Structure 1
Amino acid sequence: MTEILILSASLNPRDGYRSFNIENICKLAEKFYTEDFLGDEKIHLQCELQHYGLDVPVPPDLKNLSTLGDLYHGLVTTGKADMYPLVDRLLRLVLTLPASTATSKRVFSAMKIVKTSLRNRMEDEFLRDYLIVYIEKEIAETISAEEIIDFFYLIKERRAHLK
């Protein structure tokens, strides 16, 4: 995790893009995003970054930025994101990393609570469904018991009447 943060810092626009480093950015794409950048795209990324390094710090809209989020917003508003599609893709991947990591941690934390030794014999499908309801509590609370019963009646006829 530390290495990905260090390599991602090479994209940081703070202090006039002082930390911009093509080698580190290419290493980031090659090491952590191998499925997102195919063989030729890695070579094109390096060329694109050379042009990007000369072009992006020049426009006034992109000069005094301090975060990757500001940089991405600036690239989109100035149209530079279309000029540098591989850099755009890499920036989006780096910006979404914290959210995807937090979501997976949240799921495993919920699974630790839900799947206790008493529930250890749960089948995978039931566990998955139960975890979805547990994790998305806010959504589940908006659905009433009557709506659930009506839904089950629509699926097929039941032997026991719940109403």
Structure 2
Amino acid sequence: MFFEGANGCIYRVVKLALLLPVATATVERCFSKLKLVKTDLRNRIGPEFLNNAMVCAVEKDFLSEVKDDDVMERFQAMKKRR
């Protein structure tokens, strides 16, 4: 097979070299957003809320397409917890 032996090792190194900048850029972008979300004033928020806030911060483009009325209707349709 083509990818076995020395050729396979070279293929993996080249593949990793091409993938690494994209992967590190995504991680750096997420940490940058985390820095904005978790400020000194909000450093005591719980992990679940922080996770939800991070998803909103990272996926801002997708969430901008969601209509406010749809969100309000969904919350109004939810049952009360008490």
TM-score normalised over the length of structure 1: 0.41
Deviation at 1:98, TM superposition (A): 0.8
4+ residue stretches of structure 1 with deviation over 6 A?
Answer: none
Deviation at 1:107, TM superposition (A): 0.9
CA distance in 2 between counterparts of 1:107 and 1:129 reads 13
* Number of the residue aligned with 2:79: 157
CA distance in 1 between counterparts of 2:26 and 2:54 reads 13
**C-alpha spacing 1:146/1:87, structure 2 compared with 1 (3 Å):** farther
Identity across aligned pairs (percent)?
33
What are the superposed Cα offsets for residues 39-73 of structure 1, whole Å, 9 maximum, x if unpaired?
xxxxx85x232xxxxxxxxxxxxxxxxxxxxxxxx
Q: Does 1:48 align with 2:3?
A: no
Please give the root-mean-square deviation of Cα atoms over the aligned residues, in Å: 2.4
SS of the residue corresponding to residue 73 of structure 2 reads helix
**C-alpha spacing 1:87/1:150, structure 2 compared with 1 (3 Å):** farther
Equivalent residue in structure 2 for 1:104, among 1, 22, 27: 27
Letter in 1 for 2:80: R
Q: Which has the larger radius of gyration?
A: 1
Deviation at 1:103, TM superposition (A): 0.8
* Number of the residue aligned with 2:43: 120
**C-alpha spacing 1:151/1:92, structure 2 compared with 1 (3 Å):** farther
TM-score normalised over the length of structure 2: 0.74
Deviation at 1:136, TM superposition (A): 1.6
CA distance in 1 between counterparts of 2:48 and 2:37 reads 14
Q: Does 1:141 align with 2:59?
A: no
Letter in 1 for 2:38: K
Structure of higher RCO (CA pairs closer than 8 Å, 6+ residues apart): 2
Instruction: List alignment gaps of at least 5 residues for structure 1.
Output: 1-43, 50-83
